[in-house]
Structure 1
């Protein structure tokens, strides 16, 4: 992505195309970029093994964290987000590779049986990111509200997961309610903030 500062709407459209291209390139290479990102994520999260770790069920061209979630679930609790209502923080329900799933809001699968937990680590999807820990989401504010609520109760480690091609080279507009990430993992590197 390049050029002058764009509106969030324009940036989202541009970022979605960039993510789709990175995803298609990874698929064309047998999923190499996605596998490498998952391996870096697993290595990076080793100090957090045993804590409640929240992943997500990927939609469209989002980088798929489920291989990491499956590995992590052998050593501690793993959860997935559940949208309860518009403009509200997410809830997190326990997940396992064997969990029966059903369609949730916005198309993301959620566990059929709800067992709410409070995560200590949250793996966050995104459209774009920058090198200072900000992400561009879909505009609903779910993760921003969720991270603010979780952090009000104690330390929560937020890790973005993205393809390197999702890096925004334009300035990302940041609002006071935008929750920064603690780290971002791509197939090329781990950025910490």
Structure 2
């Protein structure tokens, strides 16, 4: 297990270094490409995205398209070091610091259970494995939802340059149903059924 953790950390560092080396022009074009190639039909669905930090792929233009479609938007919020929830968000809402260096809706906004989760990540593989930032926020939150009987579709949002070789997973790792990059949406074998209701 120690070897698996070490391998994940190495892959994480390599992928993040490649992401950080991307030009600001490419970052901006990549963000618009997500919206231009919008693969989802989510009217009436609750979709969680994220407020990009650092060199993360910014889903801002994409979420505006989803909102115009009629989606209910949400953003993740950390209640403490271990607990993450999703709060409803509209683009007209002012965002506040919500932990981990990111922004989200304030405590006056209702908590929601997303139908589709668009998650940031450090790296992904061709098998749909996801490497996050090492804190386990998404894995714990999704595991709690699964235990309660709610199973949102999970799509990673990343640059193509963040793909890494397949690695040995840990028991708590939750696989991606798909990954959305500037090149388009890739649906993994385990995500075919989960993503079908959201595709055009």
TM over 0.5: yes
Select the residue among 19, 28, 35 that pairs with 1:31. Answer: 28
Q: Is the 8 A contact 1:79 1:92 kept in 2?
A: yes
Tell me the C-alpha RMSD between the 2 structures: 1.8
CA distance in 1, matches of 2:27, 2:133: 27
- Label 1:134 to 1:38 Cα distance change in 2 as closer, same or farther (>3 A): farther
What displacement does 1:61 show? Answer: 0.6
What displacement does 1:59 show? Answer: 0.9
CA distance in 2, matches of 1:143, 1:107: 16
Is the partner of 1:31 in helix, strand or coil?
A: helix
Deviations along 1:11-63, one digit per CA (max 9) or x if unpaired, are 222121011123x2xx23472222213333x2x221x3320100001110110
What displacement does 1:147 show? Answer: 1.7
Q: Is the 8 A contact 2:126 2:166 kept in 1?
A: no
Select the residue among 149, 155, 179 that pairs with 2:151. Answer: 155
Structure 1 runs (4+) deviating above 4 angstroms are none
Aligned 1:136-155 pairs, distance under 5 A: 136-152=131-147, 153-155=149-151
- Label 1:92 to 1:29 Cα distance change in 2 as closer, same or farther (>3 A): closer
CA distance in 1, matches of 2:118, 2:50: 7
Aligned 1:89-168 pairs, distance under 5 A: 90-112=84-106, 113-152=108-147, 153-168=149-164
Q: Which moved more, 1:58-67 or 1:103-112?
A: 103-112
Higher relative contact order (CA 8 A, sep 6+): 1
Is the partner of 1:116 in helix, strand or coil?
A: coil
How many corresponding residue pairs? 181
Residue 56 of structure 2 is aligned to residue 59 of structure 1 = no
Runs of at least 5 residues in structure 2 that lack an aligned partner in the other structure: 189-200
Length-normalised TM-score, structure 2: 0.83
Length-normalised TM-score, structure 1: 0.86
Partner of 2:198: none
What displacement does 1:79 show? Answer: 0.2
Runs of at least 5 residues in structure 1 that lack an aligned partner in the other structure: none
